A and B are shown apart, each in its own frame.
Chain A
């Protein structure tokens, strides 16, 4: 009996020895580090769904030509650290991929470089195939992340809502709006870097 007890103790102690190794994982798969906030697969899923819905929205399909959309950084009003750049990058990429010419996404990240290049062309310092005006936005795509959290020390529950709106850049009228929600219970939220 005592031998079994000792063996059981050794087994348990052995379970405490772990070697960590870096491995590649699918961004859409459940991660080893999980919490109740937004994971990579959640961000991708929301961005996918939003971009598909937006491309098919009446405000886009009824527009004469391809409307030009400026994607604004997502506002964070949740309790989670969010890299707004990753979110914005993902949305921009998926919109361009899913648009199939139905809308045009403006790149506002390199506006200064574009203006400098235009100046070079107009001054004759750089040649230009054609000169044209810089594209203005027809719509702004804005997003906001909010969360409602509760905890009792052992468990944590987080309700996260991500809202996107398409706003007319001339009139300020909201042409399209949708929210995507998720609720998770379990371990305390993981901080996302």
Chain B
């Protein structure tokens, strides 16, 4: 009898409907869309998240008006840090706080809304959204660096070109191309630094590498297309970072420098000298084919504003990043990405096949900060892969946070000192917030088409579309990855 009851309970629990995002993925598209629409209308901590999911589903189904409305709601909420939510944000589980999204989710929202506005001919506001996407990428941590969101810069360039602001278009495209270089060279130069032995105590040499890597984003901002010059500028920046941060209170420093003593800074600066020469040599040995490939890509992108195509499609492909909890208490947010890179996008235009390389990637944006690979995030702070000893310290701090909630003596002592601190400590749980916009794609491709006015059949990764090239001006449109792939007829809204 007990077994029968248990099986009945299991059967009923199995009949619970899937969450709309999952239901959509298994083919229940229309019902999932309707349920998601109902969720998005409810005010609450997750309205922005539900609105983004609705936007993805609506756009995939061809309802671009509904997608735009949902994105406007989401974007308004994701950027609002009102006092109303402030106190609540200090306590309670991360997953109960108002959802604002990670930087890659913010820039996805801005980009999608910008593209829908662009398709409608509202170039001014589309440009504003592309700018916001770039800013949301650049300003996501306490570190200051230029954004490497290539798609944001390229689309800004297209919008400026439509407005006949050629100088601004060239500047924006230039920054996009710099970002392409910075991405590739950051990883290469960072790896090269690991291979340089250096002179001095092991920890001091490690610290010197930390300083140089911290200066690398600024170095590439100065000279993205010249590795030797970038390394020279990085070294200069690293020295400045050391001199500034050694005089700051520990809490105001970059996370990897917070535990450094004055002696650590001094010895790291000395050890930097031994690394600098070797790093410059390594920079000079960047394979010419890498620089040639990047230069060829730059020429293709520059052509898009020098000889504007009549149609520009931004095509999504693949499944985007997934958030998971890790660490002893689930306190670390890790981003899991697809193991299989998408590779070039196969297209067919007028019967002729071709291939387009990826322009950008949400998976890349989710797992990097200033082009540096991130291992995980702790309360929004990046734990970089190339600072493993700093990682150990940050994990120890996470342990301290959790330990505090179990230590009644410590909790009571804190209460005697400050009731507010105690309440916060007693109610804070360290689990990372993994609520996510799981319908984002992996890769973004820029497909410029120089088409005569009228209808054209275009194949994109196996899907067929009728693209209506305008008699004048330029059509810009987003082609979603999510099934069934958006409107089958792509034209100005």
Contact = CB atoms under 8 A, between A and B. Distances in A.
A33 B87 CA distance: 16
Contacts of B75: 81, 191
Contacts of B271: none
A76 B125 contact: yes
Interface string B42-82: 01000000000000000000000000000010011001111
Contact of A18 (B84, B92, B412, B419): B84
A154 B136 CA distance: 11
A61 B329 CA distance: 73
B128 A76 contact: yes
Nearest to A31: B82
B380 A153 contact: yes
Given A79-B131, A190-B79, A193-B72, A153 B139 contact: yes
A12 B132 CA distance: 35
Given A1-B412, A32-B84, A193-B72, A188 B128 contact: no
Listed residue (B79, B96, B163) with the most chain A CB atoms within 10 angstroms of its CB:
B79
Listed residue (A12, A33, A149, A150) with the most chain B CB atoms within 10 angstroms of its CB:
A12
B91 interface: yes
Contact of B125 (A5, A81, A152, A187): A81
Interface string A12-51: 1001101010000000000011110000000000000000
B131 A188 contact: no
Contact of B82 (A32, A76, A191): A32
B337 interface: no
Given A20-B43, A35-B80, A151 B87 contact: no
A9 B80 contact: no
B367 to A, nearest CB: 17
Interface residues on B, range: 35 or more
A86 interface: no
Contacts of B72: 81, 191, 193
Interface in A80-96: 80-82, 84
Listed residue (A76, A79, A81, A151) with the most chain B CB atoms within 10 angstroms of its CB:
A81
A152 B124 contact: no
B274 interface: no
Interface stretch (B262-270, B296-304, B397-405, B421-429): B421-429
Interface string A171-193: 00000000000000011111101
B81 A188 contact: yes
A5 B128 contact: no
Nearest to B125: A81
Contacts of A151: 135-136, 138-139
Nearest to B114: A81
B88 interface: yes
Nearest to B415: A5
A82 B412 contact: no
B128 A79 contact: yes
Interface stretch (B23-31, B140-148, B457-465): B140-148
A163 interface: no
Contact of A16 (B88, B125, B163, B423): B88
B476 to A, nearest CB: 17
A12 B128 contact: no
Given A20-B43, A76-B124, A79-B131, A152 B144 contact: yes
A150 B79 CA distance: 14
Contacts of A120: none
Contacts of A81: 72, 75, 125, 128-129
Contacts of A167: none
Nearest to A188: B79
Interface in A132-165: 149-154, 156
B80 A78 contact: no
A52 B140 CA distance: 41
B129 A15 contact: no
Given A5-B426, A16-B92, A188 B43 contact: no
A149 B75 CA distance: 17
A75 B160 CA distance: 12
Contacts of B140: 153
B123 to A, nearest CB: 9
Interface in B219-265: none
A15 B128 CA distance: 36
A82 B82 contact: no
B33 interface: no
A77 interface: yes
Contact of A190 (B80, B91, B129, B136): B80
A57 interface: no
B182 interface: no
27 contacts: A1-B412, A9-B423, A12-B91, A12-B427, A16-B88, A33-B80, A75-B124, A75-B163, A76-B128, A77-B127, A79-B135, A81-B128, A81-B129, A152-B142, A152-B144, A153-B380, A186-B81, A187-B80, A187-B82, A189-B79, A189-B132, A190-B76, A190-B80, A191-B72, A191-B75, A191-B79, A193-B72
A-B complex: 9 closest residue pairs judged by Cβ atoms? A151-B139, A187-B81, A76-B124, A79-B131, A191-B76, A191-B75, A188-B79, A79-B132, A8-B423
Given A16-B92, A35-B81, 19 more contacts: A8-B422, A15-B87, A33-B82, A34-B82, A35-B79, A75-B163, A76-B128, A77-B124, A77-B127, A78-B128, A79-B132, A80-B128, A80-B132, A81-B72, A151-B135, A153-B142, A154-B142, A190-B80, A193-B72
